[in-house]
Structure 1
Amino acid sequence: MNSIANKIIETRKIKGLSQEELAEQSKISLRTLQRIENNENNPRGKTLSLICNTLDLNLEGLLSTNRSQPFKITTKFFDFFFLAVANLILVALLGFMTIDSQANFNSRFAMVLLSILIPLFIVNFTPNMSSTERLLKFGFGSLLYFIATLSIAGFVTGFLSGLFLCMLINLSMLYFGSQLIHKK
């Protein structure tokens, strides 16, 4: 069954309407509605518009969810893959520019700046995401790297190199950055 039919049935039941009541209020025939819900035919523009108006559904949203259905799993996989790669790159930069034996004051200062600017860039391009969701999606690499650094190099090395400071700044900017950028 396609998602348009599912959404119509689901919304009709939530609103407590029978097929007869929905058909009457939408000014379409009962048989047309039954064919749509049974996935025997796809509703045309006017019929779908009448049903959406009666059920208070967003027509564009209903049509777009129907088109994107086959790509949902693939999209989620690529989203997860991108997030994992982005987190790995960010923590690799943190480690390389701070804890590396060749790191000097300039590289550590640059990493502090990047720990501010990269999360602000992320916050700017994810305005509809909550702070907690952003922290979990883009900050999990820092949390894992913090635990790995504690267990391998120890707290003193992580603290004196500036790595923990950069991680703290990074995570803070991911969480509180929307309040800095989107002040009203």
Structure 2
Amino acid sequence: MSFIGKKISEARKQKGFTQEELAELSKVNLRTIQRIENNNNEPRGKTLELLCEVLQIDRSELQDLSKVSENNKIGAFVVNAIFLILLNLAIAVTFSYLVMPVEADVNSKFGAILLSFFIPFTIFYYTQQMKATERIFKFGICWMIYITTLLYAQGFRGALAIGFESWIFSCILIYFGVLFYGKVLFKSDK
């Protein structure tokens, strides 16, 4: 519930009004009040003025709450961006550690193959509502940067040799495949 919707709902209940009574007193449509309190709409202009008048709420106080809400959204975006960057780095470092060293054996590489299935499968499980392309962009950007860097540093032939010899390309293909085609692999009610 938004701060404004929550404040209007609290003030209405404090005054002992039902939504229907508030609609009648303020001359605002009942459905509009329901949408405001359910955070589907944010009142503006005349609607906000009418509701504030009936509920005896200071309009500027509600607008200040709206600004605080907007600042919280920006803060959440920054925290989410930092988390995604750190998560992508952890994924890339983990796979590189398992397959890239010269002394990496078949067991280590097979472990990387298993992780390249289970990590994106877990990501898919918790992000089923997300579109596949958005999921790939958010959780696969590390691999896009990795491949670009490898191509730049080693050239096309060198990158192919390193990628297939170390099994990292196999891991990347499985990783992207599971992120993109997760719905095929995971049937759920979500």
TM-score, length basis structure 1: 0.68
Matched, 1:27 2:24: yes
Q: Give the counterpart of 1:182 among 172, 184, 187.
A: 187
Alpha-carbon displacement from aligned partner over 1:63-89 (angstroms, at most 9, x marks no partner): 999574331111100100011111111
| Aligned mates of 2:128, 2:171 — CA distance in 1 | 23
Name structure 1 gaps, 5 residues minimum.
Answer: 6-24, 31-49
1:115-134 counterparts in 2 under 5 A? 115-134=116-135
The aligned counterpart of 2:95 is: 94
1:125–1:99 CA distance, 2 compared to 1 (3 A): same
Q: Give the counterpart of 1:57 among 35, 42, 67.
A: 35
Matched, 1:71 2:76: no
Kindly, what percent of the aligned residue pairs are identical?
28
| Aligned mates of 1:172, 1:97 — CA distance in 2 | 20
Task: State the 1:183 CA deviation.
Answer: 5.4
1:81–1:52 CA distance, 2 compared to 1 (3 A): farther
The aligned counterpart of 1:8 is: none
The aligned counterpart of 1:162 is: 167
TM-score, length basis structure 2: 0.66
Matched position secondary structure for 2:102? coil
Matched position secondary structure for 1:127? coil
Task: State the 1:99 CA deviation.
Answer: 1.5
- Contact kept in structure 1, 2:3 and 2:69, CA below 8 Å: no
Name structure 2 gaps, 5 residues minimum.
Answer: 6-21, 43-64
Alpha-carbon displacement from aligned partner over 1:130-184 (angstroms, at most 9, x marks no partner): 1111011001111111121223342211111100110111111111113311257
Matched position secondary structure for 2:35? coil
